[in-house]
Chains A and B, each alone.
Chain A
Amino acid sequence: MKRTRLVMVGNGMAGVRTLEELLKLAPDLYDIVVFGAEPHANYNRILLSPVLSGEMTLQEIMLNDESWYRKHGIRLHLGKQVVRIDRAARKVIAADGTEEGYDRLLLATGSTPVILPIPGSRLPGVVTYRDIGDTQAMIDASVRSGCALVIGGGLLGLEAANGLKQRGMDVTVVHLMPWLMERQLDRTAAELLQRSLEGRGLRFLLERETEEILERDGRVAGVRFADGEVVPAELVVMAVGIRPNTELARSCGLHCDRGVVVSDTMQTHDPRVYAVGECVAHRGVTYGLVAPLFEMSKVCANHLAQFGIGRYEGSVTSTKLKVTGIDVFSAGDFIGGDDSEEIVLHDAVGGVYKKLVIRDDRLVGGVLYGDTVDGAWYLQLLRDKQPIADIRDHLMFGQSHLGNAGHQGQEKAVGMPDHMEVCGCNGVTKGAIVQCIKSKGLFSLEDVRKHSKASSSCGSCTGLVEQILASTVGGAYTPQTDAAKPMCGCTDHTHEEVRRAIREHRLLSIPQALAFLEWRTPSGCASCRPALNYYLLCAWPREAQDDPQSRFINERAHANIQKDGTFSVVPRMFGGVTSASELRRIADVVDKYAIPTVKVTGGQRIDLLGVRKEDLPRVWADLDMPSGYAYAKALRTVKTCVGSEWCRFGVQDSTRMGIDLEQAFQRMYAPHKVKMAVSGCPRNCAESGIKDVGVIGVESGWELYIGGNGGIKTEVAQFLVKVKTPDEVLQYAGAFIQLYREEARYLDRTVHYVKRVGMDHIRKLVVDDADSRRALYERLLFALQDEKDPWVQRVKGESRHEFEELRV
């Protein structure tokens, strides 16, 4: 059968990224033809500045060489400019007469540099800064050295100026506005930047309007400004902006305003014709940065692949200046106004300036100069519109100050030596990560994880890996907004969308959910199935169908798999209290089944390690104790101190309280494991401060703390409420845990969940609103009612096949 023909006009980053995404989704759907006006395959345009300054070579910035096109069966017309589109006959025609017919057309024609309409602007020696050709022209000019004049003190102009300076030219930057990069920086940051560039030998002429480019012997000789001043120059670089390249689209009658007008599905007014990249105008906005272009590519590919799910809804962008040794970052509304607040840190001598703009308890913009390591983090806060009241005190000092970025407080990715280990789980050094990013052309955290393995295990170095990625690829890196992150590669739906659909449409089984939500894979994957299974059971307790095959082995075998394939068994000891007969039974089991290791756990119970899987049901039968759920995303242990029954300092009976909590909430599944603790006095011997729910007895009652964590990310729990009676402890703790069960994403601990939704949200629903609290608590009790002990069930013979091996 003949395949659908897809023709792409323009061979730049946005277009090729669209093809890559498309090939991932539907590798065999199209016969693809690509026209590129430049004689090169796809390269990383953002890295032209390092090429100009001599820090990188052209080879190093290639993203897809010609063999990539061959490998995917794409026919590539290089150096051929498409001059006409015949939409009636559905074909494109290139300047040399080459014709290609299409069923779908993708326009990715990018943008062209603006050339000032002044006398002399076409003289030899006047260049723009856009592609490899321009870069090469500048490099060639710099060999002859002499004076260069850059018109335009924006991002591109400054990068060009810096590159030419490093190649030995005498460089002057002319700018129309009162300060540099006025679209990205406020005056203070711009002046710091100017001073630092002046320190490198660049000269600046601000508030000068160029009126004419002067000629001598048929070449450029200098420029004259409106005030009459003349500056000599052998090279003039025009970097006054870019304009979407809409010429081709206009000529075939497609609707254009500033760019080619596209809908949220990246379609032009002709539904067969798609457009992505710098050439488009989406909701009246044009983009010149790479991150939004990649977002467009993803959506466009989704529709070309006929999935029809994604929508592009515009982007929040950020800028980074790629001048080695000078760190500038800006995003959002960095100027602010009467309705906004500012947090400013300014160290003029140290060369650090940071300004954050806040409106209605949300970060709306910011400028960073000199220290930009937290740029990616701020950008994420901005996109997620996360309330910042809880972290406002520390906001200025960055993410590491919140105890979240990497180990040992190490945060300056840029300053790290290459041999320093970043990911302690997988032994990956910074050098290995950078190498991997460069050689494989990676742009997203997910890809870096997959290829380098860094941050793919415990995830505690994620912040650091993100920083390394951001500093390696510059503006091309977009931290994925949490809010819009799809559950996994099987779907474009977010966790929240999936949960809502399960609730609103009463989905009761995994096959039903996969079909209803139009999963791309027939049976999901190892990442989405366990999440779906949990979401179904949480939304429809006692109705939804549990699918053991969608549970991780530990929750299927009700024991913890070890590195050698044996299992460990942890029986429940309520509140850490045991008895002579339990201990005797444990000792007998250890002897009878020759269990190699017996260990006291951190949660005040006993772990039997190295049990063969086929022995599990008999071990459980002989133990005759409840399952401790030490293997499950569920309530683990409630740690207690001795309390008022024995302790001379104890003011409350913490042991009793712990036992009551554990009995009330045992067998409770959750998005991740849940640990609790109860201390009988403020000395807090049960370490309640680092638990998901920590309770501390005081003379007049109990204090409840939530969202603490003692593992990957050490985090002190936050105060929720003080109550008087043990009943209230049960109700408040239960209501919070139910809220977490209903709202957290699968595999988020309470610490992540609390951080995401904010304490205010939790206080409102658990503390302030008594009806809401009661309802939450009742929903939890309803879910737990009739939940059976899995060990008892299996001793009786349930899922026998799980524990029996076959023989031939």
Chain B
Amino acid sequence: MKMHEAVAQWRKVCPLDQIPRLGARVVNTPQGDVALFRTAEDEVFALHDRCPHRGGPLSQGIVFGRNVACPLHNWSIGLADGQAAAPDNGCTATFQVKVDGFDVYLLV
């Protein structure tokens, strides 16, 4: 863990328009697969690509508002905090992400 923190840096991923609105892309990183989401308002969020429930790939889910519905059992996960919506209970890791100009950067 220390190792990763030590080398964490902003890495350029792709231009924003390569992520569909209300959609996601998968990014392979040294810390595993990260799901990169884009909302209708062009906000970008990044979550570990695993649902806290049964490990479903969140990147494949339907994005609505600032949430994504897991494709396996329809848990709703908040994009900003990785929290499952009540009454479900669980949390998935979030990553820092920013848009600079046309490009999306991920802190890994």
Contacts and interface: CB of A to CB of B under 8 A. Distances in A.
A523 interface: yes
Interface of B: 11-14, 18-23, 25-29, 33, 36, 39-41, 54, 56-57, 60-65, 67, 69, 71-74, 76, 87, 106, 108
B106 A523 contact: no
Contact of A522 (B14, B19, B65): B65
A539 interface: no
Given A549-B22, A563-B54, A565-B56, A806 B64 contact: no
Contacts of A808: 11-13, 27-29, 106, 108
B35 to A, nearest CB: 11
B61 A553 contact: yes
B11 A550 contact: no
Interface stretch (A199-207, A468-476, A525-533, A720-728): A525-533
Contact of B25 (A522, A526, A561, A801): A801
B20 A801 contact: yes
B108 A526 contact: no
Given A522-B65, A523-B39, A805-B25, 18 more contacts: A451-B87, A457-B73, A523-B64, A524-B64, A525-B64, A525-B67, A526-B61, A529-B62, A548-B20, A549-B23, A552-B62, A552-B71, A553-B60, A561-B60, A563-B54, A801-B18, A801-B20, A808-B29
Contacts of B21: 549
Given A548-B20, A549-B21, A565-B56, A806 B28 contact: yes
Given A557-B60, A805-B27, A806-B13, A450 B74 contact: no
A505 interface: no
Given A549-B20, A552-B62, A806-B36, A526 B14 contact: no
A450 B74 CA distance: 11
Contacts of B61: 526, 553
A414 to B, nearest CB: 26
A523 to B, nearest CB: 5
A71 interface: no
Contact of B60 (A457, A521, A565, A801): A565
A146 to B, nearest CB: 49
Interface in A544-561: 548-553, 557, 561
A807 interface: yes
Nearest to A452: B87
B64 A529 contact: yes
B27 A549 contact: no
Contacts of B22: 523, 549-550
Interface string A413-433: 000000000000000000000
17 contacts: A457-B73, A521-B64, A521-B65, A522-B65, A523-B39, A523-B65, A525-B67, A526-B61, A526-B74, A551-B62, A801-B20, A805-B26, A806-B25, A807-B29, A808-B11, A808-B27, A808-B28
Interface in A395-453: 450-451
Interface string A449-464: 0110000010000000
A457 B106 CA distance: 36
A332 B29 CA distance: 64
List of 4 A-B pairs having minimum Cβ-Cβ separation, nearest first: A526-B69, A553-B60, A526-B62, A549-B22
A556 to B, nearest CB: 8
Given A451-B87, A565-B57, A565-B60, A526 B76 contact: yes
B3 to A, nearest CB: 17
B64 to A, nearest CB: 5
Contacts, number: 84
A524 B67 CA distance: 11
A549 B63 contact: yes
Interface residues of A, number: 26
Given A526-B62, A553-B61, A561 B71 contact: yes
A228 to B, nearest CB: 62
A346 to B, nearest CB: 45
Contact of B87 (A450, A526, A552, A807): A450
Nearest to A564: B55
B18 A553 contact: no
Contacts of B13: 806, 808
A451 B85 CA distance: 12
B87 A522 contact: no
Nearest to B29: A808
A207 to B, nearest CB: 53
Contact of B28 (A450, A522, A530, A807): A807
A522 B63 CA distance: 12
Interface in A469-522: 521-522
A561 B59 CA distance: 12
Nearest to B69: A526
B62 A806 contact: no
Contacts of A806: 13-14, 18, 25-28, 36
A551 B69 CA distance: 12
Give the interface centre of A522, A530, A549 by most chain B CB atoms within 10 Å.
A549
Interface in A318-335: none
A51 to B, nearest CB: 28
In this complex, which of A548, A563, A801, A808 has the most chain B Cβ atoms within 10 angstroms of its Cβ?
A808
A805 B18 CA distance: 11
Nearest to B71: A553
A613 to B, nearest CB: 8
Interface string A554-576: 00010001010100000000000
B69 A807 contact: no
Residue from the set B21, B56, B64 with the largest chain A CB neighbour count within 10 Å: B64
A457 B71 CA distance: 13
Contacts of B29: 807-808
Contacts of B108: 808
A557 B14 CA distance: 21
B11 to A, nearest CB: 4
B57 A550 contact: no
B80 to A, nearest CB: 15
Interface string A670-707: 00000000000000000000000000000000000000
B15 to A, nearest CB: 11
B78 to A, nearest CB: 13
Given A523-B40, A526-B74, A807 B27 contact: yes
A72 B24 CA distance: 36
Interface string A766-808: 0000000000000000000000000000000000010001111
Contacts of A553: 60-62, 71
Nearest to B68: A526
A807 B60 CA distance: 17
Contacts of B27: 805-808
Nearest to A563: B72
Most central of B20, B60, B72, B74 by chain A CB within 10 Å: B60
Contacts of A552: 62, 71
A521 B76 CA distance: 15
A563 B50 CA distance: 12
B60 A530 contact: no
Contacts of A807: 27-29
Nearest to A525: B64
A552 B61 CA distance: 7
A526 B64 contact: yes
A552 B71 CA distance: 7
A521 to B, nearest CB: 6
B92 to A, nearest CB: 14
B25 to A, nearest CB: 5
